[in-house]
Structure 1
Amino acid sequence: MEHSQRARIRAGDAAAFAELFDDHARAVYRYAVRSTGNWSAAEDIVSLTFLEAWRLRGKLRPDGDSLLPWLLGITTNVLRNTARSARRHQAALARIPPQDSVPDFADELVGRLQDAEQLAAAQRALATLRRGDREVFTLCVWSGLDYASAAEALGVPVGTVRSRLSRARTRLRALAQQELERGREPLPGSGQHSVGRVEASWSTEEEHR
């Protein structure tokens, strides 16, 4: 079925491509959310990923197992491109003289505050990693790809995936230990520690790999 779907997608079959979206859009979205820390931006990443996948359908290998590594490889490139665009945009904004503005309190009304705090804490921790290490960690730990699939997604050898993932885990564990030794203050009104919750989330997902 997968091989037939590959052939149909390569031939430009819209129905086969719709099946691809139905099968994997949620996984692409989860990867994008965890990479960007922004639910709205992740929706744009999903759209861009599938637009790019349609454009590149002729380059899809005719053989292989799951199509998810191919899609997540495209997502990774989209994330890189949007990150570069965002940096250029921020640099342009920084050159604009500041103006008086009225505070917007709408964000205080969100219903998933703890999820946002947890995601933000994860983003801060992941931001300390090299880009390659961060991408491997997100693909293997959060998106559930095995070493071979992550290697296919990123276009690197399996050994590179293994070494990057090991380096990322070592760095994140050291960071979590530093936070524990610092004696962190609880999040307001939650009675919990953000990094502790994120560390538990990583550990839980790793146990289920």
Structure 2
Amino acid sequence: MAAVTPVPLRAGDDATVIERSLREPEAFAGIFDRYYDAIHGYAARRLGPSLADDVAAETFLVAFDRRDGYDLGRADARPWLYGIASNLIARHRRAEVRQYRALARTGVDTPAESHADRVAGRLDARAARGPMAAALDDMADGDRDVLLLVAWAQLTPQEAGDALGIPAGTARSRLHRARRRPRAALGETFEETA
């Protein structure tokens, strides 16, 4: 069996790699290598580190199994992968809601795993954790999914809509509605501490 030459990934090459993986399944490793850390990080923020490994691994198993249905007209596979991850996270919704409720009660976050997470979690964020977690807990599932895909996965509202299988206008409406709760929660928190 001939060795497969790895395909270096450039922005917009995802469709090419996925198409190649239909003939050479091992080429899909390029997609895995490129996006695993981002998908794992998103799952960890949503569900905590204990479930992130499973969700991230399952995301790529599902993506590999469904790669023949991937729209090759879409050069960027991120929205597709985040959509799969969001669907898997929905199965774990109860765990996510319990985490938000616990954070709302205690105001204590799970230990940060990376330097960027440790830096981002300091100062005013400590005061806002409880109210933010409560706002996320009270939010409708669809609104929360769009908000977190935009905020944590850094997708555009259009990409979040693609990931969730909803029209871009619906994603924008959900995002607008979802942003109101955290703003209200933060406003109350900082008014109380001021």
What TM-score do the two structures reach when normalised by structure 1?
Answer: 0.66
* Aligned pair partner of 1:154 in 164, 176, 179: 164
**2:65 aligned partner:** 55
2:41 is matched with 30
Question: Residue 127 of structure 1: SS of its match in structure 2?
Answer: helix
Q: Of 24, 27, 33, which residue of structure 2 is paired with 1:13?
A: 24
What is residue 107 of structure 2 aligned with on the other side?
none
Give the residue type in structure 1 aligned to 2:17: Q
Letter in 2 for 1:58: D
Q: Does 1:69 align with 2:83?
A: no
Whether the 8 Å CA contact 1:24–1:68 is kept in 2: the answer is yes
2:178 to 162, 168, 175: 168
From 140, 143, 146, the equivalent of 1:136 is: 146
**Is the 2:39–2:56 Cα contact (8 Å) retained in structure 1?**
yes
Cα distance in 2 between the residues matched to 1:3 and 1:177: 43
Cα pair distance change 1:125/1:12, threshold 3 Å: farther
- Among the aligned pairs, what percent are the same residue? 33
Q: Measure, in 1, the Cα distance between the counterparts of 2:70 and 2:15.
A: 11
The TM-score, its normalising length taken from structure 2, stands at 0.71
Aligned length: 160
Contact 1:137–1:165 at 8 Å: present in 2 too?
A: yes
Partner Cα distance (1:162, 1:111) in 2: 30
State the structure with more CA Rg.
1
Flag structure 2 segments of 5+ consecutive residues without an equivalent: 1-12, 99-110
Q: Match of 1:46? A: 56
CA RMSD across the alignment: 2.9
Task: Provide, for residues 82-135 of structure 1, a one-character-per-residue CA deviation record: whole Å limited to 9, x for no partner.
Answer: 336x59xx9xxxxxxxxxxxxxxxxxxx687x7599596454431121111111
